[in-house]
Amino acid sequence: MKPDDLVDATPAQFELGFERSPGGATVLRRQLVAYPFHVGRVLHVPGDPAGFATVYVQSCSGGLFQGERLRLAVTAEAGAQVHLTTAASTIVHAMPGGAAEQSLTIEARDGALVEYLPDPLILFPTAKLTTTLTIRAAETATVLAGESFLLHDPKGGDGAFDLLGSETRVEAADGRLLALDRFRVDGSSVIGARPGVNGAFGLQGTLMLVHRSDPDSALEALRSALPESPGVFAGASLLPGDCGAWLRVLARDAIALRAVMRAGWMAARRLVTGSAPGIRRK
Amino acid sequence: MNEIATVLAALQLGDSFFPSGGTSFSWGLETLRADGLVRTAADVEALVAGQIEHRWVSFDRPAVTAAHAAAGDIDAVCVIDREVDAATLAREAREGARRIGTSVLKVHEGMGTPGVPEYRARIRAGDAFGQMAVVQGFVARASGLDADTACAMSAHQLVLSLVSAALRLGLIGHVDAQRIFVGQRDRVGTLMRQPVPDISELHAYTPAAEIAMMRHETGNGRMFAS
């Protein structure tokens, strides 16, 4: 089934609409949040530019479970600036007889900045998850979206997830496709550690920096975040469709993964606002 | 075409003597070697198998198949070409596949392969990019080859470019190279019995090769174009 059909089949269970108020602050103008989601109040993190909003998207249910089909939609109107994140990693639980799906659409209008940087997905044995992220960005908007995953067997064995299907679409405001990242992998392939596939690295992270007004600067920003350490293998490149740049990292541990993702975030933020983000302890 | 003529056409178009420029590309192997992630003949063999199982079968093969089926409808070919281009995220992979595709089309235009001038005109007009896998399906059909043969040639050319790069990088010898070709026959044959994913389902999972190509953009001492 195509992601669009799924979105049409069920209304979004989670919709947030951000606007820039006349005073310059980004405010949450529209909010429709149903179980299992919970949205904290709009925060201003010290160190961020005045009016910059940070919002934690939380799930009350303790992760993603078999049979769940979650729909999320975030809209940032002209000039709004918002950082969306999670309070913790998302556990993708065992799914012996089914699967879960999550789709998110981010629309960023003129001059808006949306950062969507959730903590990693932790894939348990037999987990089957399909995630779809659609980024629809105006020519002057910026969207930074992250995705990362690792596998974990809570029983301490070598049980592996069955499927992670991940699709990220970058579209122009009129829906024209600019860039598409789609991968499908199962845990035993990750454990297989083949050269050229994931090598000896069990964790993966991706940052998409959609910055249509100046893709070369987006690439320069992400390249500046690339580490040179033996525990990670990372690169950055220009996206197709002149829509920005992207970074992909393979890592051996969660600390190394997070360091690269954070460095990419800081560089992307500096590109847009001129200063590094305020960091809030989780 | 009779059977022998078909085999001869496949041999000609799939041969490394065909001027596609394909052997100028290592598809990340040069960087994987420089970074110490591919060191031995066994590593090269595993890399080739991984590229076939985690990329070719779910990305190139559906693109070749869709382009072969659509070959008479240049608008449809352009749609497939743009989809493949948008889904090839590492710049050297995207631009390398464009370079090979456009080179192949240029040679086929000189050979008088039907339909090729129209495809090239659409590339010049910015409606398409000449993505390698799409061109492979298109010219195979225009040359009278069936879709399975087109896919087999596409797999062969991928293996060819990887082993030829590995050979020149000093990772394998000639006998290793031929052994790797033999090893891929059954793998490709088995994979080709699976249903072909639709063009809207193109997917791949080869992050290490992608990252290697991205690192290659700024790397030193480059022998290959990817």
**One-letter-per-residue 3-state SS of chain B:** CCHHHHHHHHHHHHCCCCCCCHHHCCCCHHHHHHCCCCCCHHHHHHHHHHHHHHHHHHHHHHHHHHHHHHCCCHHHHHHHHHHHHHCCCCHHHHHHHHHHHHHHHHHHHHHCCCCHHHHHHHHHCCCCCCCHHHHHHHHHHHCCCCHHHHHHHHHHHHHHHHHHHHHHCCCCCHHHHHHHHHHHHHHHHHHCCCCCCCHHHCCCCCHHHHHHHHHHCCCCCCCCCC
Put simply, the answer to whether A194 touches B35 (Cβ < 8 Å) is no
| Global pTM value | 0.95
Q: What is the ipTM of this complex?
A: 0.95
DSSP A138: -
Residues of A in contact with B217 (CB under 8 A): 235, 237
Q: Which helix (H) or strand (E) holds A133?
A: strand A128-137
Pairwise CA distance, residues A240 & B97, whole Å: 13
Q: Inter-chain contact B91–A250, Cβ cutoff 8 Å?
A: no
In a structure prediction context, what are the per-residue pLDDT tens digits for chain A, which is 282 residues long? 444 333 334 545 889 999 999 999 999 999 998 888 888 899 999 999 999 999 999 888 889 999 999 999 999 999 999 999 999 999 999 999 999 999 999 999 999 999 999 999 999 999 999 999 999 999 999 999 999 999 999 999 889 999 999 999 999 999 999 999 999 999 999 999 999 999 999 999 999 999 999 999 999 999 999 988 878 999 999 999 999 999 999 999 999 999 999 999 999 999 999 999 998 877
Give the whole-angstrom CA distance, residue B213 versus residue B37: 13
Instruction: Give the Cα separation of A140 and A70 in Å (integer).
Output: 29
Strands A177-185 and A142-151, by their bridges, are unpaired
**Mean pLDDT (whole number) for B15-31:** 93
**Closest chain B CA to residue A180:** B87
Chain A residues closer than 8 Å to B35 by CB: 233
